[in-house]
């Protein structure tokens, strides 16, 4: 029997922005629970919830002050339990974010660690003496602004390492007590019914780093992300990360049917190492390569074919399951990156490729970036490296449920923590009953994917296609589909492959082509994608 997460579709919820039930302008867990109906209606299988743990919110929850509780802004531990149980009643799985590399500087572990050089928890984090010149031990820089990754502690006269903000000290996974405490966090949540974890920056976890300077990046120039000034030779994608991956997987395997997803931003050749040498690390190392690809048929096809080819490499077991992500809380909105018309084509792609799709909340509406006025900027990255387009607030704005003043996200007299966007931005209520809407398109695609063995589990083969069109075939379980994606703004005539003579259109990103018969060729409008059910497959 295939695992649920192979056939399933993951939906990412940024809890601050999904639904506010308490009236403070910040989303919360009971709010998510209120909206389970919608998720069920949409047809997704699992929700992944970005961190909802107690946090000073220096990085909006990715600075965790207690891994086994819920921040009061998001609710209580009881609310979490109610949400997990309610989701299960709806047949939805629940995946939590697990911040592996760092805690908050307000976590009791760190407060104790920093309290004195002799504290038994000193070694839970990375403390170092200054370099001989009195400066930081290495030239490493932090991710949100490119400042030193070492923070000086006046009281104990040592530096501590923080790969992200100074408020996010790196945990020392080389310490067996850290391992035990952190692994027990997984058990704590799985005992409460959680179905899996998305492991934050999985490829940065450190066990025994070499304290050596990173070499400069000679391609760096002003105007680029300051963090990119250095190469990351000694700070990420080290063997340590695999060791930690195996530790996590062992614990996840103590329980039935759970999933371990790793956040790993790498090209396919290096990414697949995170399945583990014996398929004993991440079930799904996140594949972000379509997010970073140029949006042309040729570039996207190359990415998909290359990934498929790497997955067939004899070095792998053959069991490794692909996955694709097109948006998340760290990058600009899909519809703003590639435009609203191609966003429809992109959803057709995401939901018909071989491998688990992850959908980012509100992308099913074609939600664009929301402009954030300077005085409302929240994201520390934008604050530390302003004006470079790195800020993540524009893609983290409230879910737009209806056309009331605060779009159904929070009470009308309350200001949401980020603006909910201009009046013309999409809402669920506008789109729900509009057959031509993005939401209807995504929902129909999910329905087709769920009901078709070829689409949820079949094989993938790319096909010859005119320039600017990406075409592929999905086959399996007595079912076959051909997908044509016109990634240009010109009309295109696409030949069916020689082994297929006829079919009918199961879905088009444009309206009113359902059940249209196709023989030999299919004509595509500009920016149109079609899914063709092959006759007699």
**Residues with active-site annotation:** 200, 254
Q: Does 127 bind ligand GLC (CB under 6 A)?
A: no
Q: Which of residues 32-61 bind ligand GLC (CB under 6 A)?
A: 59
Q: Are 211 and 129 in contact (CB under 8 A)?
A: no
Beta carbon of residue 513, minimum distance to ligand GLC (angstroms, whole number): 38
- Cβ burial of 461 (10 Å; 0-12, 13-18, 19+) is middle
Measure the CA–CA gap between 394 and 384, rounded to whole angstroms.
Answer: 16
Q: Does 379 bind ligand GLC (CB under 6 A)?
A: no
Beta carbon of residue 471, minimum distance to ligand GLC (angstroms, whole number): 33
Beta carbon of residue 387, minimum distance to ligand GLC (angstroms, whole number): 19
Bridge partners for 49 per DSSP:
13, 96
| Closer to ligand GLC by Cβ: residue 167 or 308 | 167
304 token code pair:
């998909």
| Closer to ligand GLC by Cβ: residue 62 or 160 | 62
Q: Which of residues 250-279 bind ligand GLC (CB under 6 A)?
A: 263
C-alpha closest to that of 153 among 180, 193, 125, 177: 125
Near ligand GLC by CB under 6 A: residue from 24, 106, 153, 330: 330
- How many residues bind ligand GLC (CB under 6 A)? The answer is 9
| Closer to ligand GLC by Cβ: residue 389 or 477 | 389
Q: Which of residues 290-329 bind ligand GLC (CB under 6 A)?
A: 329
Secondary-structure percent of the chain, ordered helix, strand, coil, rounded to 5:
30, 20, 50
Q: Does 382 bind ligand GLC (CB under 6 A)?
A: no
Measure the CA–CA gap between 226 and 144, rounded to whole angstroms.
Answer: 8
Q: Does 99 bind ligand GLC (CB under 6 A)?
A: yes
Beta carbon of residue 435, minimum distance to ligand GLC (angstroms, whole number): 35
Residue nearest to ligand GLC (CB): 62
Q: What HEC string does 287-332 produce?
A: CCHHHHCCCCHHHHHHHHHHHHHHHCCCCCCCCCCCEEECCCCCCC
Q: Coil, helix or strand for 176? A: helix
Secondary structure letter of residue 16 according to DSSP: G
Nearest-10 Cα torsion for 358, 362, 367, 373: -110
| Closer to ligand GLC by Cβ: residue 232 or 479 | 232
Beta carbon of residue 99, minimum distance to ligand GLC (angstroms, whole number): 6
| Closer to ligand GLC by Cβ: residue 237 or 431 | 237
Beta carbon of residue 203, minimum distance to ligand GLC (angstroms, whole number): 10
Q: Are 302 and 260 in contact (CB under 8 A)?
A: no
Residue identified by tokens 């002050």 is 65
C-alpha closest to that of 359 among 5, 36, 47, 6: 47
Q: Are 300 and 290 in contact (CB under 8 A)?
A: yes
Residue 345 Cα distances to 329, 342, 358, 483, angstroms = 21, 5, 16, 10
Beta carbon of residue 60, minimum distance to ligand GLC (angstroms, whole number): 7
**First-to-final CA distance of the chain:** 23
Near ligand GLC by CB under 6 A: residue from 28, 200, 341, 364: 200
Q: Are 165 and 55 in contact (CB under 8 A)?
A: no
Q: Which of residues 162-181 bind ligand GLC (CB under 6 A)?
A: 164
Q: Which of residues 438-497 bind ligand GLC (CB under 6 A)?
A: none
Secondary structure letter of residue 474 according to DSSP: E
Q: Does 203 bind ligand GLC (CB under 6 A)?
A: no
Near ligand GLC by CB under 6 A: residue from 48, 62, 150, 282: 62
Beta carbon of residue 322, minimum distance to ligand GLC (angstroms, whole number): 21
| Closer to ligand GLC by Cβ: residue 62 or 173 | 62
**Element (DSSP H or E) covering residue 151:** strand 150-153
Q: Does 288 bind ligand GLC (CB under 6 A)?
A: no
| Closer to ligand GLC by Cβ: residue 162 or 283 | 162
Near ligand GLC by CB under 6 A: residue from 32, 161, 201, 346: 201
| Closer to ligand GLC by Cβ: residue 122 or 333 | 333
* Torsions phi, psi for 262 (to 5 deg): -115, 135
Q: Coil, helix or strand for 180? A: helix
Binding site residues, ligand GLC, CB under 6 A: 59, 62, 99, 164, 200-201, 263, 329-330
């Amino acid at each position: 029997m295939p695992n649920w997460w192979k056939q399933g579709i993951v939906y990412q919820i940024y809890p601050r922005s999904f639904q506010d039930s308490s009236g403070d302008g910040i989303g919360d867990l009971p709010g998510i629970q209120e909206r389970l109906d919608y998720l069920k209606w949409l047809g997704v299988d699992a929700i992944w919830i970005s961190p909802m743990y107690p946090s000073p919110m220096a990085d909006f929850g990715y600075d965790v002050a207690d891994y086994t509780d819920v921040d009061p802004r998001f609710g209580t531990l009881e609310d979490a339990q109610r949400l997990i149980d309610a989701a299960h009643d709806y047949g939805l799985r629940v995946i939590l974010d697990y911040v592996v590399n760092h805690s908050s500087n307000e976590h009791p572990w760190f407060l104790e660690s920093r309290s004195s050089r002799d504290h038994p928890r000193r070694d839970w984090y990375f403390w170092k003496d200054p370099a001989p010149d009195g400066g930081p031990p290495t030239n490493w820089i932090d991710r949100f602004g490119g400042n030193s990754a070492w923070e000086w502690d006046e009281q104990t006269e040592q530096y501590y390492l923080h790969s992200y903000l100074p408020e996010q000290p790196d945990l020392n996974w080389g310490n067996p007590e850290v391992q035990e405490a952190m692994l027990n966090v997984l058990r704590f949540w799985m005992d409460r019914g959680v179905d899996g974890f998305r492991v934050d920056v999985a490829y940065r976890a450190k066990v025994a780093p070499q304290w050596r300077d990173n070499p400069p990046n000679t391609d760096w120039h002003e105007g680029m992300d300051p963090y990119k000034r250095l190469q990351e030779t000694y700070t990420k994608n080290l063997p340590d990360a695999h060791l930690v991956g195996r530790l996590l997987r062992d614990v996840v395997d103590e329980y039935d049917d759970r999933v371990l997803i790793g956040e790993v931003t790498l090209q396919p050749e290096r990414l697949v190492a995170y399945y583990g040498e014996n398929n004993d690390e991440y079930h799904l190392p996140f594949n972000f390569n379509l997010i970073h690809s140029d949006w042309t048929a040729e570039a996207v096809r190359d990415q998909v074919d290359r990934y498929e080819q790497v997955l067939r490499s004899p070095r792998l077991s053959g069991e490794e399951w692909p996955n694709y992500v097109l948006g998340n809380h760290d990058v600009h909105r899909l519809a703003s990156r590639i435009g609203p018309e191609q966003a429809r084509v992109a959803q057709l792609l995401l939901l018909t490729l071989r491998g688990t799709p992850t959908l980012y909340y509100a992308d099913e509406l074609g939600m664009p970036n929301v402009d954030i006025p300077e005085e409302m900027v929240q994201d520390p990255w934008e604050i530390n490296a302003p004006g470079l387009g790195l800020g993540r607030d524009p893609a983290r704005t409230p879910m737009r449920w209806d056309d009331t003043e605060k779009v159904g996200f929070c009470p009308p007299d309350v200001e949401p923590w980020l603006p909910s966007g201009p009046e013309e931005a999409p809402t669920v209520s506008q789109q729900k009953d509009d057959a031509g809407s993005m939401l209807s398109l995504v929902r129909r695609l999910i329905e087709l994917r769920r009901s078709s063995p070829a689409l949820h589990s079949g094989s993938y083969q790319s096909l010859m296609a005119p320039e600017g069109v990406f075409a592929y075939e999905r086959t399996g379980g007595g079912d076959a589909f051909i997908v044509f994606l016109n990634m240009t703004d010109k009309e295109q005539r696409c030949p069916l492959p020689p082994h297929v003579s006829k079919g009918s259109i199961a879905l088009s990103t444009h309206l009113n082509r359902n059940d249209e018969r196709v023989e030999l060729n299919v004509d595509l409008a500009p920016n149109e994608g079609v899914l063709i059910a092959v006759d007699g497959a």
